[in-house]
């Protein structure tokens, strides 16, 4: 068979990595020990590159709920909710989410990626305009592609730039869908949500906020940045995932629109894929109940984030944003970042290597994500591993 030319660029990156002898994208965790520890290459390794913000993956109540559902409802649903029917628990989880956010209704998707694809492509189509933050997650970009809408990027976290571009739309501005994230996954920086709400209200547009990295992390009840900023009522759709603070897989959207039920049938990523497995739903429902009451875990998470941020800052590293659950070390050059990442892994610390074009500002970074389940000893060990690097500090 002839070489597929579409794979040329990816093949070249794989070959480049093979030459250096480091493969940051093929890491295998041979055994997962706890939310914060795994065995990699025979070495006990601190996991500092998960999104397990509240450490829910091993929570005894979540595991017990999953086990019970597995035994009573089986391993999978084997089909889409529209074609094969919903289980009662799918709907119960939706009602839990709607109540949690104080919104009228919710739609559950099989992943957070699909929640963005599904909602954006159901809300917008050819001839419509979607305004997205330039640093948006790939699922938001891909949702816009699936929608076939006119997609306009505005400067990251810049509400004035958004307003300027909205003005250019004239009468069309009221039909625009604006999409931002609460906390950005690469650098951990927060959106100026109140400013975005002001722009949305000024033009009468629709606002969707992806709280993937802020749900469970921010807010007295864990409802994310929208709760902290007191703007939940002004946000038309909150999108999120079960794969981070809830410790599972799946995604959702909550909203007050009369069209919530219609939206699910207009969403191909909802209609044409298998629904969530019973054990996933059961564990997620338990996790959501615990998340709401987990202000002690949120405090511990913040204390861990501050300790890691202060420790890395004292070592002279350049960091992405003020202390947050995501602590990104800016490294600059890709090869340097690759070697640094490998050094950390050999020192028993796993972080995420992020390289352009997935990163803002075309800069490579080592992304640490902190969990409430990390101990101070683990945080200090992460700092010590970073401190043992002899290369440049960017």
Q: Which spans of this chain sit near ligand PMP (rule: CB under 6 A)?
A: 111-113, 116, 137, 139, 181, 185, 210, 212-213, 241, 243, 251
- Least separation in angstroms between residue 140's CB and ligand PMP is 7
Confirm whether 309 is a catalytic residue: no
CB closer to ligand PMP out of 81 and 244 = 244
CB closer to ligand PMP out of 52 and 116 = 116
- Least separation in angstroms between residue 296's CB and ligand PMP is 25
Closest CA to 380 of 315, 302, 329: 315
109 DSSP β-pair partners: 251
Distance separating alpha carbons of residues 87 and 98, to the nearest angstrom: 18
**Position with the least CB separation from ligand PMP:** 112
- Least separation in angstroms between residue 18's CB and ligand PMP is 26
CB closer to ligand PMP out of 213 and 223 = 213
Render 22-64 in DSSP notation, one character per residue. --TTS---SEEEETTEEEETTEEEEE-B---TT-GGG-HHHHH
CB closer to ligand PMP out of 140 and 166 = 140
Quick one: the chain helix, strand, coil %, rounded to 5?
45, 20, 35
Q: Which of 244, 290, 309, 374 is catalytic?
A: 244
- Least separation in angstroms between residue 237's CB and ligand PMP is 13
Confirm whether 185 is a catalytic residue: yes
- Least separation in angstroms between residue 211's CB and ligand PMP is 8
| Residue 116, helix vs strand vs coil | helix
CB closer to ligand PMP out of 55 and 251 = 251
Residues in the chain: 394
Q: Tell me the C-alpha to C-alpha distance, in Å, between residue 387 and each of 200, 326, 363, 371.
A: 45, 19, 21, 21
Residues 6 or more apart whose Cβ sits within 8 Å of residue 346: 43
Burial class (CB in 10 A: 0-12, 13-18, 19+), 85: exposed
CB 304 within 8 A of CB 53: no
Look at the alpha carbons of 74, 79, 82, 84 in this order and tell me if their dihedral is positive or negative.
negative
Confirm whether 221 is a catalytic residue: no
Q: Which of 185, 214, 369, 371 is catalytic?
A: 185
The catalytic residues are: 185, 213, 244
């Amino acid at each position: 068979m002839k070489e597929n030319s579409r794979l040329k660029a990816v093949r070249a990156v794989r070959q480049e990595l093979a030459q250096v002898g480091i493969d940051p994208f093929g890491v295998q965790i041979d055994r997962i020990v706890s939310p914060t520890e795994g065995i990699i290459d025979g070495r006990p390794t601190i996991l500092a590159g998960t999104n397990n913000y509240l450490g829910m993956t091993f929570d005894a109540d979540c595991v017990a709920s999953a086990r019970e559902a597995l035994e009573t409802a089986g391993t999978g649903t084997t089909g889409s909710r529209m074609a094969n029917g919903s289980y009662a628990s799918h709907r119960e989880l939706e009602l839990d989410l709607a109540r949690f956010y104080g919104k009228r209704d919710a739609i559950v998707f099989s992943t957070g990626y699909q929640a963005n694809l599904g909602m954006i492509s159901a809300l917008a189509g050819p001839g419509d305009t979607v305004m997205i933050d330039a640093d948006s997650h790939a699922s938001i970009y891909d949702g816009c592609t699936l929608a076939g809408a006119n997609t306009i990027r505005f400067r990251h976290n810049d509400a004035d730039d958004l307003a300027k571009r909205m003005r250019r739309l004239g009468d069309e501005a009221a039909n625009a869908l604006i999409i931002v994230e609460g906390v950005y996954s690469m650098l951990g920086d927060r959106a100026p949500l109140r400013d975005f709400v002001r722009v949305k209200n000024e033009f009468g547009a629709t606002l969707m906020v992806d709280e993937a990295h802020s749900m469970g992390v921010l807010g007295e009840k864990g409802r994310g940045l929208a709760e902290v900023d007191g703007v939940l009522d002004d946000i038309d759709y909150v999108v999120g995932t079960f794969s981070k603070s809830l410790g599972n897989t799946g995604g959702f959207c909550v909203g007050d629109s009369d069209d919530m039920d219609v939206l699910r049938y207009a969403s191909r990523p909802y209609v044409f894929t298998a629904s969530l497995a019973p054990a996933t739903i059961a564990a997620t429902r338990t996790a959501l109940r615990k998340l709401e009451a987990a202000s002690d875990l949120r405090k511990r998470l913040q204390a861990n984030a501050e300790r890691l941020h202060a420790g890395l800052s004292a070592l002279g590293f350049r960091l992405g944003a003020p202390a947050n659950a995501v602590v990104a070390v800016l490294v600059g050059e890709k090869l340097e970042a690759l070697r640094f990442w490998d050094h950390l892994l050999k020192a028993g610390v796993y972080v995420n290597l992020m390289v352009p074009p997935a990163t803002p500002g075309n800069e490579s970074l080592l992304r640490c994500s902190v969990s409430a389940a990390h101990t101070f000893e683990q945080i200090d060990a992460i700092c010590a591993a970073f401190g043992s690097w002899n290369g440049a500090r960017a």
